[in-house]
Amino acid sequence: MDTIRFDLVTPEATFYSGAAGMVDIPGTLGDFGVLPGHMDFISTLRPGVIKIHNDKEETLQIFVASGIAEVNAVSCTILAERAVDLQKITLPEAEARLARAKGALDGAFTESAKADALKELELSEALVAALAA
């Protein structure tokens, strides 16, 4: 199986780096798949799940909040605001995060606090939806 180099980087660290047979990505204008030999392009990402298919027919699923994908014929690099390995979080944990986000929004008094709380709420809702699917 042909592969591409795939890197997923967050502000904290390199979240994933390795070979992939295919990568499914949640683009802002729609989901897209990246295979070896793909044309060059750049896309923004919406909150959603990246699926990394390797040569052993296994698929890793990583939730990203948002970011940018740069694709060429031999590699795909994603710079993500946040990333969560869906195998390391449960639906009840995500639902608890969503409840905390709702509470933070209710308790926010400044415009800055409201904006931060709303962003966390939207992220938590997307994470719960990804786990429930």
pLDDT single digits (tens) 26-43: 999 999 999 999 999 999
Cα separation, 31 vs 33, whole angstroms: 7
Min mean pLDDT across 20-29, 41-50, 103-112 is at 103-112
Residue 57: pLDDT over 90: no
**Those residues with Cβ within 8 angstroms of residue 48's Cβ, 6 or more apart along the chain or in another chain:** 26, 31, 63, 64, 126, 130
CATH (one of 2.60.15.10, 3.40.190.150, 3.30.70.920, 2.30.38.10) for 4-86: 2.60.15.10
Domain locations in the chain?
4-86, 90-132
Mean pLDDT of all residues belonging to the chain? 92
Instruction: Find out whether 90 and 73 touch, Cβ atoms under 8 Å.
Output: no
Instruction: Find out whether 44 and 67 touch, Cβ atoms under 8 Å.
Output: yes
User: pTM of the prediction?
Assistant: 0.84
